[in-house]
Amino acid sequence: MSFQSASRGREMSRGNDQPPVIFAGHPFANIGKGDEMRSAFSSYRFLDPRCRIFDVYRHAKRLDRDHISLCRGSESRDLDAPVRVFHINGDEVAPVLTQLENRGLDFSAGRNVVVPAWELPRYPAEWADELEHFDEVWAISRFVQESLAAAGVASVHVGQAVEMPARPYLPRRHFAIRSSSFVFLTLLDLSSYSTRKNPEAALEMFHQLRQRHPFADMQLVVKVKSGDDDAKEWVAEALGNASPDVVFIDWLLDTHETQSLIAACDCVVSLHRSEGFGRAAAEAMWLGRAVIATGWSGNLDYMNRSYPGWVGYELTDVLEGQYPFHAGQVWAEPDVDDAVRIADQMVTDAVFTRAAAAQGQEAVRRDCSFRAVGLRMLDRVNAMLEEA
């Protein structure tokens, strides 16, 4: 998109007290859809500060200082804007529309966009039907765009921004990480279908790496978002079997702490079976950290086969119980031996690690900045305003 088009968007917003866009969803929720919404709002606001944010349910506790600061002065109690962008999934559409009706808000009074997410190659058909309530669908990654297309839903790729402020981060000692170590970090959510995140693969990679280098000064940090009793049992078992150099962090971190943890590591490991986007790996790249990741699914928006941390894989069937709507779906089984080979080179070759970090940082700062994503959204908003 051209600067002329961006300027046109600014001129329209200056000439009208009504915000041109409202981003609706869960701005204070510590979940993936909350991250996506905050990222999208920040990206659009980078170009047009008159956009607003709308908390659909107002249920989430407002505890994270970064979330509060982002929304301060920008929160709307209504949907009075010509374009509304809903960061919700297909299964949320009906209850969200009911909530809007109960609050006396007219969903039909503007152009409505939905930004769904999914982590498998075909979006669920029953969720796809719900997306028909919206005028346009935006995709957070090429993988999600293809997943929607497989379900018969046309969408526009806008991507996601992972830009972070330049600010002081907390030191390693805040997380009980050795200052001298080469630190690998993997992040996982045990509250829902951890099989997709595949945490066992990262533990196995580190175990094999430790066997190769029994005296090397290195650590694996595992950030765990715990869930039910089964999740707690997994953590207990993993702790019992893990090397003393594996550090588990299972308490809730705020945004600043999470970013500090990523900044404190040397390499983020994501041996996932599938990702809608893969935000942690992209954030690590933004901060200039190396990444080792399965070379499949949403993370291909910012890393390709030429990236040094790209891990090979084989596609396998998703089995019953491993993920919702599994029938006919596939995902990647990462090659742990390949991951060990890359990790070995990271630990022993600082030049290789710095090159990987620089290549990743260049990619995300080009394609996943507020400006890059904001321009894609502004282009679509301008088109919808011109059609109205």
pLDDT in tens, 257-294: 999 999 999 999 999 999 999 999 999 999 999 999 99
In the chain, the domains with their CATH numbers are: 3-161+369-387 (3.40.50), 172-367 (3.40.50.2000)
pLDDT at 225: 81
Average pLDDT, the chain: 93
Q: Which residue has the higher pLDDT, 27 or 13?
A: 27
The answer, yes or no, to whether residue 1 has pLDDT greater than 50, is no
pLDDT at 59: 86
pLDDT band (50, 70, 90) for residue 244: confident
Residues with Cβ within 8 Å of 107's Cβ and at least 6 positions away in sequence, in order, are: 79, 97, 100, 101, 133
- The whole-model pTM stands at 0.92
The answer, yes or no, to whether residue 216 has pLDDT greater than 80, is yes
pLDDT at 227: 55
Query: Which DSSP state fits 137?
Result: E
Mean pLDDT of 183-211: 91
pLDDT at 189: 80
56-103 pLDDT, tens digit per residue, is 998 889 999 999 999 999 999 999 999 999 999 999 999 999 999 999
Which structure tokens are listed for 361? 């940082």
pLDDT at 229: 53
Task: For residue 230, count other CB atoms closer than 10 A to its CB.
Answer: 9
- Measured CA angle at 292 (ends 257, 215), to 5 deg: 85
